[in-house]
Structure 1
Amino acid sequence: MTALDGQCETMTGVVFAGDLSAPEPVPEAGIEAAVGLLRDGRLFRYGEDRNSIPEAALLEQEFADYQGRKFCVGVNSGGCALFIALKAAGVEAGDKVLVNAFTLAPVPGAISHAGGEPVLVDIDDRYVVDLEDLDRKAASSGARFLLMSYMRGHIPDMDAVVEICARHDITMIEDCAHTMGGGWDGRLTGTFGKAGCFSAQTFKQVNSGEGGLIVTDDEDLAARAVLLSGSYMLYAQHRARPSLEVFDRHRFTTPNCSMRMSGLVAGILRPQLAELEDRNLRWRHIYNRLAADLAGIEGLNLPVRPAKEDFAPTSMQFSVSRDVLDDTQLAQFIDEADAHGVHVKWFGAPDPIGFTSRHDHWRYIDGTRAGSVPNADRVLSRLCDFRLPLWLSDEDCRTIAAVLSEAIATARANRVSACA
């Protein structure tokens, strides 16, 4: 209802008819590989057929080569990749692990699974880790580990992050779930820390429904990760692995957690690696096209992307100015956009919805020890995002921007209390 005429005002006109949750199909080569495996029936993560190489072992070698790292381990999901990397890096019960406050629930979940205690690090207005707070908490927390989460594909100044970790003797594990093929200043994410962890969930750069990959140059971490993933004593079947002598140091003291990637998942993924660079170019085009349109909407603010950030965007984030919409109006904006075909997630919503939650929703974390993150609280209260499927055309981008523009105008004009 407008403040002037007392009539409830709703959007009319433009509607986006697509489904932002719909991915591109799996490439035919991946489908053929999956069908071949189903016909063969050898779906278990290891085989006793000495004349063939498991699909997961082939994928590991190919992804290690792509990343320029010595070793790679395929696992069930990005979340269990984080858990295994943390455990293999030496995280023990009660160890404090630094993590930036803007991330998704599987990240602190992996820390908890490994027995660690998350210590939240603040973020800045670019949605990345605040370097001053990282330096401060690295010095004061007693943490020996950093789980660096490139949430939604936003990459901080990694030269500075590496320097801070080196100065405080902190081991960094990278959460690269949203940055496969992305990097900083020409260097791929997943190569800055002791290990890098990737996701093959449907909404990421490659799609097998679910799956994870760990890369590292550390032979002991790699051997422990292979054993943790559930290799039994069949670790020799891995190709991107350290020497068998390294496994002798760990095979009797490392538990089997049964998290190994299946051959079916690996077979679906292998053909997609060849398309990775082209996909990321297409995603950047979509992102830049939409960013240009959204930049003209009053009250909608996009983060600055530094020239050194080689981002690989599978989604779009923006903040809504409190001067333009209050919280009630922001909730109406979300509803209006959704009703017109653009499903926007709001990190500031009172309750977690779908995949979206924030640190104060993770009540298994000890808030008194997790650390204060006032800027993250401010930023997340106004932060929105939505998916960018690869099939979006320039016309689709224009339509999405028009829907969001109208939704903001409608929410801004309405006196919500009278329309309730």
Structure 2
Amino acid sequence: MTERFTGNFTQQDPIPDDGIAAALDVLRHGRLHRYNEAPGETSHTALLEQEFAQLMGADYALAVSSGGYAIATALRALGVGAGDEVLTNAFTLAPVPGAIASVGASPVFVGVTQALTIDLDHLAKLVAPEDAPRVLLLSHMRGHICDMDRLMAICDAAGVRVIEDCAHTMGARWNGVLSGRHGVMAAYSTQTYKHVNSGEGGLLVSDDPDLMARAIILSGSYMLYERHLAGPPPEAFEKVKYVTPNISGRMDNLRAAILRPQLAKLNQQCAAWNARYRVVEEGLRHTPGLTVIDRPEAEDYVMSSFQFLLLDWSDADVLEVVSRCADRGVELKWFGGAEPAGFTSRYDSWRYADTPELPDTDRILRGILDLRLPLTFSLDDCALIARIIRDVVAITHQSRS
């Protein structure tokens, strides 16, 4: 009998009961704005920032309205503006180059390797000229982390400052160092489908007091910045408060109340995601025509999705796999399509930016298939999903031969 999967690839875990209780309390008292505090009260948003800074081992943290807003705020804090160029991954999602465009700058795309990480050889060539961009917005796309030691050596030697987009790597590590702790600033997402869920939201961390002072004022603190428990000292704001615009994008207390209990359970949730990832990984190994992404020993990943490659397949054959899997209840997203679809798009889809010639990257993108692994899936569900994909790929591969 042909196996089918009947689960929902977009159904997340419910919000924890203590998060629901905290949210109801905020709704009952009505003080949703982060600076609307009763006498003697500390807002949920300020406490979330303090707890996230401690979790990440960062000096400072800021909670904002989205991950994309966090990235744009980091760029502005670094002084990136109209006419500047910013290096970033060719394999990423639209909010990353979108954040660069939002500050008037232009993305300069760096290639992707078969490991789905930024091409460090290509990066080294791009930063070599004297007039090269001096900011890299590094996307740990879909949870894949490059050799951060080598990346930082390249960037430090060239005077390139690094902002890390950790939307898919909250809680992950490279060589024991938490993702986001290599660059000067790091942005995280709390959007649904990420490692903590407030529907929409973002977090920004840094150890640099001047950068974080700018970020806090940019986020819309007005002169209430002293209420940030995870902010820099008052003297850092004195340098920037008259010259930094307010571009309001604060997080509210309702979302912060939902997030705080989830942060407390982050490590166990990450372990649960990785268990599901490994079941799919083992189920797909040695499938004819399919390439599994091998993970380096130094990478302590946190995977809420799964990617595999159908390298050098025709577009028609890849689409046949997507269609046949869909018929059996497995939703695959293809990053190689010429037209954007849903959340997926290619670097040449972003026509507000120059499109370089990246043939090696194009080959990889044409082969990337992606699926979500929500925690509502059991390990048995994941084994079934792997069997279906393996079966469909094997049948389609055989018909190609």
State TM-score, norm by structure 2: 0.97
2:387 pairs, out of 377, 382, 402, with: 402
1:158 corresponds, among 148, 151, 169, to 148
Give the deviation of 1:412 after TM superposition. 4.1
Gaps of 5+ in 1: 1-11, 416-420
Classify the secondary structure of the residue corresponding to 1:173: strand
The residue identity in structure 2 corresponding to 1:365 is: A
Matched, 1:173 2:158: no
Contact 2:37–2:43 (CA<8 Å) still a contact in 1?
A: no
Residue in 2 that maps onto 1:339: 327
Residue 329 of structure 1 is matched in structure 2 by 317
The residue identity in structure 2 corresponding to 1:239 is: L
Q: Which amino acid aligns with 2:323?
A: D
> Which residue number in structure 1 is paired with residue 375 of structure 2?
390
- Give per-residue Cα distances to partners, 1:129-171, cap 9 Å, x unaligned: 1111111101136101000100000000000011011100011
Superposition deviation, residue 410 in structure 1: 4.3
Please give the alpha-carbon distance, in whole angstroms, between the structure 1 residues aligned to 2:287 and 2:394.
9
Q: CA deviation at 1:246?
A: 1.2
Structure 2 counterpart of 1:275: 265
The one of 249, 252, 263 aligned to 2:253: 263
The answer as to 2:401 corresponding to 1:411 is no
What is aligned with 1:253? 243
Determine the structure 2 residue equivalent to 1:360.
Answer: 348
**Matched residue type, 1:137:** L
Query: Aligned ranges for residues 65-144 of structure 1 at < 5 Å?
Result: 65-140=54-129, 142-144=132-134
Residue 327 (structure 1) shift: 1.6
- Cα drift, residue 391 of structure 1: 2.8
SS of 1:36's partner is helix
Bigger mean CA deviation after superposition, 214-223 or 293-302:
293-302
The residue aligned with 2:215 is 225
1-structure distance, mates of 2:358, 2:261 = 42
Mapped partners of 2:46, 2:128: distance in 1: 40
Letter in 2 for 1:174: E
* Cα distance, 1:414 vs structure 2: 5.9
Aligned to 1:9: none
Contact 2:11 2:376 (8 Å CA) reproduced: no
Q: Secondary structure at the match of 2:247?
A: coil
State the distance in 1 between where 2:80 and 2:41 align.
36
- Counterpart residue number, 1:4: none
Question: Which SS does the other structure have where 1:268 is aligned?
Answer: helix
C-alpha deviation, 1:316, in angstroms: 0.2
Deviations 1:339-395 (A, max 9, x none): 21110000111211100011010001023xxx4322211100111000011132221
Give the counterpart letter for 2:63 in structure 1. Answer: G
- Indicate which of 316, 329, 337 corresponds to 1:349: 337
Cα distance in 1 for residues equivalent to 2:328 and 2:340: 22
Q: Partners of 1:158 and 1:350 in 2: how far apart?
A: 31
| Match 2:20 to one of 28, 31, 36 | 31
Counterpart contact for 1:93–1:114, Cα < 8 Å? yes
Q: Deviations over 1:265-310 (max 9, x none)?
A: 1110000111111111111111111100011321111111000001
| Aligned equivalents of 2:380, 2:8: Cα separation in 1 | 14
Which residue of the partner structure matches residue 364 of structure 2?
Answer: 379
* Change in CA separation of 1:48 and 1:289 when aligned onto 2, cut-off 3 Å: closer
Instruction: Check conservation: 2:140, 2:167, Cα contact below 8 A.
Output: yes
Q: Is contact 2:128-2:158 (8 Å) kept? A: yes
Identify the match of residue 290 of structure 1 among 269, 272, 280: 280
Q: How many pairs are equivalent? A: 399
Paired position in structure 2 for 1:6: none
Indicate if the aligned counterparts of 2:289 and 2:394 stay in contact, CA closer than 8 A.
Answer: no
1:206-229 deviation digits (Å, cap 9, x = unpaired): 111111000000001100000000
Alignment pair present for 1:196 and 2:186: yes
The corresponding residue for 1:310 is: 300
Structure 1 Cα separation of the partners of residues 311 and 84 of structure 2? 38
In the alignment, residue 132 of structure 1 is paired with which amino acid? D
* SS of alignment partner, residue 128 of structure 2: helix
Matched, 1:320 2:310: yes
1:235 is displaced (CA, Å) by 1.1
Residue in 1 that maps onto 2:40: 51
Quickly say closer, same or farther: Cα 1:269–1:153, change in 2 above 3 A.
same
Gaps of 5+ in 2: none
The answer as to whether partners of 1:55 and 1:266 remain within 8 angstroms in 2 is yes
Provide the C-alpha distance between the structure 2 equivalents of 1:48 and 1:174, rounded to a whole number of angstroms: 32
| Shift of residue 326, structure 1, vs aligned partner | 2.4
Give, in whole Å, the separation in 1 of the partners of 2:380 and 2:93: 31
**Which whole-Å CA distance do the structure 2 matches of 1:190 and 1:372 have between them?**
30
Measure the CA separation in 2 of the matches of 1:222 and 1:373.
35
Contact 1:95 1:144 in 2 (8 A): no
Offset of residue 45 of structure 1: 2.6
* Preserved contact between residue 101 and residue 122 of structure 1 (Cα < 8 Å): yes
Contact kept in structure 2, 1:223 and 1:241, CA below 8 Å: yes
Structure-1-length-normalised TM-score: 0.93
1:48 to partner: Cα distance:
5.1
